[in-house]
Amino acid sequence: MGPLMKSRAELLTTRTKLSNDVGELDRSLASRESRRKYRCIGIRNQYIKNRIQQDFSRRQRKLARLTEHDKEKYDGSVEVFPVSGAAIRYLLKDKKPILGFPSKPYTGIPALREWLGKAAFVYREEHLDSVLHGLSRLHDGIRSWSDDTSQGKVSFSRQDLEALLKLIHDNYRSVSVLRIGIAGTC
């Protein structure tokens, strides 16, 4: 191999190495830019949360007519969930994440979903209990009607109904707890 060919091969090797180095620097720069944007979003969100909390506290001081019962269960804070709907849509469509939101938890949506599930759980359970109680009363009415009209007996007992209602209630609790527990998967 002549000196000219050797020099050409060295130049190609150097060019390839430099091209790889540039690619590595580009990836590093993009990663740093994403982390910087995430930090900026976090700082902005904390500022907004603090302002909302201050405003809420100021309003609460003006309304300081809470009953003793309310004061016991209320800690004086308000929940604030900064979220990015655009970022979660991109992630759910398996598109490239938006800068500053590398995965679903960074969008705030899973935390909001979990909080909503926990906040509504008691009320939903009370509603379910009310519906199940209504079904129990309906069963009693059907049994009474069946006994009065001699059209035939209802083929399930009170114990069967109570077992069914308990199964429905327990299933609701387990499904609700599961949904709340896996909220991070959005």
Residue 118 belongs to a domain: yes
Say how far apart CA 46 and CA 101 lie, in whole Å.
16
- Of 67, 96, 54, 101, nearest to 82 by C-alpha is 101
Residue 94 belongs to a domain: no
Residue 90 belongs to a domain: no
- 43 shares a domain with 5: yes
Residue 23 belongs to a domain: yes
Token pair, residue 18, equals: 């430099």
Residue 3 belongs to a domain: yes
- Using CB atoms within 10 Å of the CB of residue 12, give its burial: 0 to 12 exposed, 13 to 18 middle, 19+ buried: exposed
- 66 shares a domain with 111: no
Range of the domain at 49: 1-80
Residue 95 belongs to a domain: no
- 48 shares a domain with 4: yes
Per-residue pLDDT of the chain (186 residues; tens, 9 = 90+): 566 667 888 888 888 998 888 899 988 888 888 889 888 988 988 998 888 888 888 777 766 766 655 556 566 677 788 888 888 888 888 777 788 888 888 888 888 888 888 878 888 888 888 888 888 888 788 777 766 665 555 566 667 777 877 888 788 777 765 565 544 444
pLDDT at 184: 41
